[in-house]
Copies of this chain bind each other. A is one copy, B any other.
């Protein structure tokens, strides 16, 4: 059964779908030096019919090393037209070409097949955030049919969801059992969600 916060999220996505950037979320992680980092990522739907949200990343970006160090992240998703904010905290799983699970490797290949030309090209460019490559030809490499090694599918397994609609509404859902780092059994146990009304 879908987590109770999903109906809120799906409703918000629908109410804001006329905005191209309604699928843009801000992903916070912790740097290896203990300072926070945050950047925009694009929601790419849920994984199958699960509660896990997905986005893509380039395995050469610093967030990948950050997630190996601390796999917990928080997403802030603000919907401008309906003025709703979701804060989704949970554990991230990075599915690269060598990921052990065959079904998830397949999901990564399917994700690549579904991406557009511009997004694909970006994954073949010189490393994002590195000093500017002088040879402009490096930005014109041919894009192969299959997923390139730099392409990763990221799964977000939510542990808590905080929903705010100012001025009057705020609630929070917490998952039981809690997802702890490295505790695969807890992550795979059937989730129950406790809802609590909060002050806005």
Contact = CB atoms under 8 A, between A and B. Distances in A.
A129 B74 contact: no
A109 B120 CA distance: 51
Contact of A35 (B30, B127, B196): B30
A interface, over-half SS: strand
Nearest to A29: B36
Bin the interface of chain A by size.
Answer: 35 or more
B199 A75 contact: no
A19 interface: yes
Interface in A157-193: 162, 166-167, 170, 172
A170 to B, nearest CB: 7
Given A73-B36, A76-B40, A87-B39, A167 B122 contact: yes
Tally of this chain's copies: 2
Contacts of A36: 28-30, 36-38, 70, 72-74
A118 B167 contact: yes
A167 B136 CA distance: 13
22 contacts: A21-B80, A24-B78, A28-B36, A28-B37, A28-B38, A30-B36, A34-B70, A35-B89, A36-B38, A36-B70, A38-B38, A38-B74, A38-B87, A39-B76, A40-B85, A80-B80, A125-B200, A127-B199, A128-B198, A129-B172, A129-B199, A131-B199
Interface of A: 19-21, 24, 26-30, 34-40, 70, 72-76, 78, 80, 85, 87, 89, 118, 122, 125-133, 162, 166-167, 170, 172, 196-200
